[in-house]
Structure 1
């Protein structure tokens, strides 16, 4: 092939064949351009194939992140609801001024153990952070879905800030509760138990008021944990639908 082009070039450059040589040169240029375009097309096709493969992997990992958010939020929701219920029931017992059933005693014991354990760990979307770092957010091809995931990640940090604030309020009241409670630690299993003076609690209206206010904070915990769980479930479904389109 190269010899053919060389021979053709020699024939065209010999004698008065300037126009023919010009046409030949144009043809060579066209062939080079076509070759470059074909190479670029193959390269773009290959890059698109790799991008799609990476996009599928990212969507699968985002679903796994959502599963962790759902699991953690569900655990927090159950704890918040059980603590909230025990506080509400305990306030009723304190207002009544006496413990009449084993359940009432169990509710009060549970409430006094758990009311101050107000903590929250932000369930981060590690896959999204990696995509940001790598400049790969565009591999979530659905723009609306991409915005939904980014907004949800921001909402998680907003909820974390709310929990921090609620936690500081709850922990700020601990010194008042110390007047009526004493903790004991079992050195063998590290369990923590509390003894409390029920009669003094009942005779202190301010204590009952402070205790009742704890219910509002734990209600907030229950609300936001449930909201995060519901949003994560819905977002997971949207990501799964998009993943099915990619496959």
Structure 2
């Protein structure tokens, strides 16, 4: 093709058609430029197609991770709710000055059980390494950055604060009023029990009662609210990802 164009130029020069030669040369340059632009556009299309395929792979992986995190979140809420129910049973039983019965040791064991967790970050960290700009939807990209940034730090902080409070209770309250903390039930090894050394004196102990009555508030601020907020966030992210995946299909 290049030889063909060269021959045309030589012929025009040989015949003395200077003006035609200049017009032809300009036209040839224009064709070359157009060809380069078309090649660049095709290359850009190919690169964009590869980016969208990679974006889809990340979104599918994120969806799987977020669904697992959502399951963990709901399981944690159930554990914490059972503990909260035991706290209420114990508070009511003591306030009504009822006699001790064997079921209470299970409630004492459950009252300090709790569960919290943080978002699984491996897929998001891989995405960050590739560049968050790979996610084409600005709203989804910002939501992911928020979830794996400040929100993840806040649920960690709240959970560890509750953990510290329980550690304090074990070594400063439980050790004075129970045979052991979180013993195993004979008939149900997975369940925890705590048997009071002296139930009657425990009922009148101000330090223990303050601890027991404060637990629901701590539950609300350090466990219930962060986990509920996380559930809402996860469900919103999954909605946005599903919406984006439909666009990419």
**TM-score, length-normalised on structure 2?**
0.84
Q: Unpaired runs of 5+ in structure 2?
A: none
Given candidates 147, 154, 157, the residue that maps to 2:142 is 147
Q: Would the aligned equivalents of 1:72 and 1:123 in 2 still touch at CA under 8 Å?
A: no
Q: Which runs of 5+ in 1 are unaligned?
A: none
What residue number does 1:22 align with?
22
Tell me the residue number matched to 1:214.
215
Q: Distance in 1 between matches of 2:15 and 2:114?
A: 96
Q: 2:242 aligns with which of 237, 240, 243?
A: 240
Distance in 2 of aligned mates of 1:165 and 1:8: 83
Q: How does 1:1-247 map to 2 (within 5 A)?
A: 1-14=1-14, 16-99=16-99, 105-106=102-103, 108-135=104-131, 137-153=132-148, 154-174=150-170, 175-183=172-180, 194-197=194-197, 198-220=199-221, 221-247=223-249
Structure 2 distance, partners of 1:76, 1:142, is 31
Distance 1:122 1:229 in 2: 12
Partners in 1 of 2:162 and 2:236 — Cα distance? 27
Deviation at 1:87, TM superposition (A): 0.9
Partner Cα distance (1:168, 1:4) in 2? 83
Asked if the contact 1:94/1:208 (under 8 Å) is kept, the reply is: no
Which structure carries more relative contact order (alpha carbon 8 Å, separation 6+)?
A: 1
Mapped to 2, the partners of 1:92 and 1:7 lie a distance apart of: 103
Q: Across the two proteins, how many residue pairs are aligned to each other?
A: 240
Alpha-carbon separation, structure 1, partners of 2:69 and 2:173:
35
- Please give the alpha-carbon distance, in whole angstroms, between the structure 2 residues aligned to 1:192 and 1:79: 13
CA contact (8 A) 2:107 2:193 kept: no
Shift of 1:190: 9.2
In 1, distance between residues paired with 2:211 and 2:190? Answer: 29
Whether contact under 8 Å (1:62, 1:125) holds in the other structure is no
1:16 match: secondary structure? coil
CA distance in structure 2 between the partners assigned to 1:42 and 1:204 by the alignment:
78
> What is the deviation of 1:49?
1.4
